[in-house]
Amino acid sequence: MADTADTTGADAAGGSGTSPATGSGAGPGTGTDSSATGSGGAVSRPRKSSWKYIGPGIVVAATGVGAGDLVATLVAGSKFGYTLLWAAVIGCVVKISLAEAAGRWHLATGRTLFDGWRSLGNWTTVYFAIYVVVWGFVYGATAMSSSALPIVALFPDGPGLKTWAVITGLTGLVFVWFNRYAVFEKVMTVLIGMKFLVVMYVAVRVAPDLGEAVAGLAPVLPDGSLFYTLGLIGGVGGTITMAAYGYWVNAKGWTNSGWMKVMRLDNRVAYITTGFFVVAMLIIGAELLHSSQIALTSGDRGLIDLGTVLEDRFGVITAKLFLIGFFATSFGALMGVWHGVSLMFADFVDRFVRERTGAAREDAVAEVAAGERERSVPFRAYLLWLTFPPISLLFLDQPFGLVVVYGVLGAFFMPFLALTLIWLLNSSRTPAQWRNGVLSNVMLAAGGLLFVVLCVQQVRDLPW
C-alpha cells in the first residue's frame, strides 16, 4: 500500500491526502517505485522523505542569497538592530510556500512551469521573452563584478576588478557547459557549506545579545522601517531561482508526485538554511554596525567595508575568512543562475519552436531529468548570452534606458511568479489532490500582495 501524500507543513498540497496522481514517469535514475496498472501504465508510489535525497534545496539556497541580499540584511541590522528579526522569519515562511508551489506544479502535473505559464496566454510568453533577455544581459555583469570584489580584496596586488570579473564569468561558463546537474549540485553544496560556516562563525564572534534577539521576534515597526521590513520579507532569497527550483527538482530525477514528500523536506531545508543566513547577517549588522553607527557603502562594496570592520575588531584571519564566504556567496549565485535560468530558457525555446513548427511537445520533464536540456543548443546559447555580452558592460556605464527596463522587468517577476502559481494551482490544470489548500492560498496571496507593493516601490525608486 502506497504511503499517503504529505499534507503537513505549509499545507502545501492543500489536498485530501490521498495517494498521489500518476506522474509523467520517472526519469532515469529516479528509482521511484511503481507498479503496473491494468492498462500497462505505471503508478508512482510516494517516497518517504529522507535527508539522503536533499539536493535541489541546497542549490536554490546557494543561488537565491547573493551578496546584495547580505548587504540589504546588514543595512537593516545596522539601522534597526534586532527589531526586524521577525520579518526575516516571516520571509522564510513565505519563500517556503512559494518554492513549494513551483516544485508541486512540476511533480503533480508532469509539466514544466513554462508549460503552465503558456497555458495562461500569450502575455506570459511575451513578458518572459523580454525579461530573460534583458535581465540576463544586465545580471551577468552584476554577478561577475560581485564575484570579483572579494578576490580583489583578498589579492590586492593581483589583477584588477574587471579582469577577475571576466575570469569568474568564464569559469562559471566552462563549468556549467561541461558538467551535468549531479556534479553541479555537489559543487554548490561545497559553496553553501563555505558560506554557512563563515557567516555563522562571524555571527558567533560578534557575541549576539540573545535577549535582544528574542525580543526581535515580536512584530514591531520602528519609524522609517516599513520598506526595510518589506524588503526583508520579500527580497532575501527571492529571485528567478525560485522559479528554477522546479527545474532543479526534475534535473535531480524527481519527475512525479511520488517525490512530493521528498521535495517538501528539501524545500524546507532550503529556506531554513536561508533563514539562518538572514538571522546571522542581522546579528552582525546589529552588533558590529548598529551600536557603532557605522555606515556601509551601498551595493556589494558594503561587504568590503564590513571586512575592514572585522579586521579592526577581530584581526586579519576573521576578515579573510569573511571575504572567502563573500566569494562563495557571490560565485554560488552566479553558477546557480548560469545553470538554472539556462534550463528555463531551453524549455522556453523548445516550447516556442515546437508551437511554430507544429511538432509535438515531447515529455519536457523527462528530458530535464535525463540531462538532455543541459546538452541542448538553447541551454548553451543562453550560457553564452549570460557571459559574453555582459562583459561589455563591465567596461562601459550601463545605459540609462537599459537600467530602467531591467529594473521594471525585475521588479515585476516575483509578483508574476506568485500570482501565476495561484492561478495554476487552483485550476483544473492541476490534479485535484494537489491543488492549493486554504493555508497555501493565504501564503501565496500574501506573498503576491507583498511583491506587488515592493514592485511599485522599486519602480518608483528607478532613475526615471
Task: Return the minimum-mean-pLDDT range out of 8-22, 65-79, 138-152, 319-333.
Answer: 8-22
pLDDT > 50? residue 14: no
46 band by pLDDT with thresholds 50, 70 and 90: low
Q: Which of 157-161, 235-239, 281-285, 391-395 has the lowest mean pLDDT?
A: 235-239
Q: How many CB atoms lie within 10 A of CB 380?
A: 16
How much is the average pLDDT of 439-455? 90
Cell triple for residue 340? 538554472
SS3 per residue for 122-143: HHHHHHHHHHHHHHHHHHHHHH
**Residue located via cell numbers 499534507:** 7
Question: Which of 125-139, 183-197, 279-293 is the least confident region?
Answer: 279-293
pTM, full prediction:
0.87
Residue 6 has pLDDT above 70, yes or no: no
- The percent of residues in the chain predicted with pLDDT above 90, rounded, is 52
Paired with 35 in beta bridges are 43
Pick the more confident residue, 399 or 253. 253
pLDDT at residue 235, rounded to an integer = 67
312-322 pLDDT per residue, tens? 999 999 999 99
Calculate what percentage of the chain has a pLDDT beyond 70: 86
Q: How many CB atoms lie within 10 A of CB 132?
A: 21
- Distance in Å from the first CA to the final CA of the chain: 61
Residue 246 pLDDT exceeds 50: yes
Task: Give the Cα separation of 215 and 85 in Å (integer).
Answer: 9
**Most confident segment among 49-63, 284-298, 392-406:** 49-63
pLDDT of residue 432 exceeding 60, the answer is yes
- Indicate if the pLDDT at residue 118 is higher than 90: yes
Name the pLDDT band for 39 (thresholds 50, 70, 90): very low
Positive/negative CA dihedral, 93, 94, 97, 98:
negative
Classify residue 446 as exposed, middle or buried by CB count within 10 Å of its CB (0-12, 13-18, 19+). middle
For the chain, give the secondary structure using H, E and C.
Answer: CCCCCCCCCCCCCCCCCCCCCCCCCCCCCCCCCEEECCCCCEEECCCCCCHHHCCHHHHHHHHHCCHHHHHHHHHHHHHHCCCCHHHHHHHHHHHHHHHHHHHHHHHHHCCCHHHHHHHCCHHHHHHHHHHHHHHHHHHHHHHHHHHHHHHHHHCCCCCCHHHHHHHHHHHHHHHHHHCCHHHHHHHHHHHHHHHHHHHHHHHHHCCCCHHHHHHCCCCCCCCCCHHHHHHHHHCCCCCCHHHHHHHHHHHCCCCCHHHHHHHHHHHHHHHHHHHHHHHHHHHHHHHHHHCCCCCCCCCCHHHHHHHHHHHHHHCHHHHHHHHHHHHHHHHHHHHHHHHHHHHHHHHHHHHHHHHHHCCCCCCHHHHHHCCCHHHCHHHHHHHHHHHHHHHHHHCCCCCHHHHHHHHHHHHHHHHHHHHHHHHHHCCCCCCHHHCCCHHHHHHHHHHHHHHHHHHHHHHHCCCC
pLDDT digits (tens, 9 = 90+) for 257-307: 999 999 999 999 988 888 888 889 889 988 888 766 777 776 677 888 888
What is the rounded CA–CA span in Å between residue 351 and residue 303?
A: 41
Q: How is residue 4 written as a grid cell?
A: 499517503
pLDDT band at 345 (very low <50, low <70, confident <90, very high): very high
**Cα separations in angstroms, 301 against 170, 219, 322:** 22, 30, 13
With cut-offs at 50, 70 and 90, classify the pLDDT of residue 237.
Answer: low
Residue 12 has pLDDT above 70, yes or no: no
Is the pLDDT at 32 greater than 70, yes or no? Answer: no
Residue 22 pLDDT greater than 50, yes or no: no
CA separation for the pair 112, 102 (Å, rounded): 9
Q: Determine the pLDDT at residue 33.
A: 43
How high is the mean pLDDT of the chain?
Answer: 85
pLDDT, residue 48, reads: 76
pLDDT at res. 209: 86
Is residue 234 predicted with pLDDT exceeding 70?
Answer: yes
In the structure, what pLDDT confidence band is assigned to residue 89 with cuts at 50, 70 and 90? Answer: confident
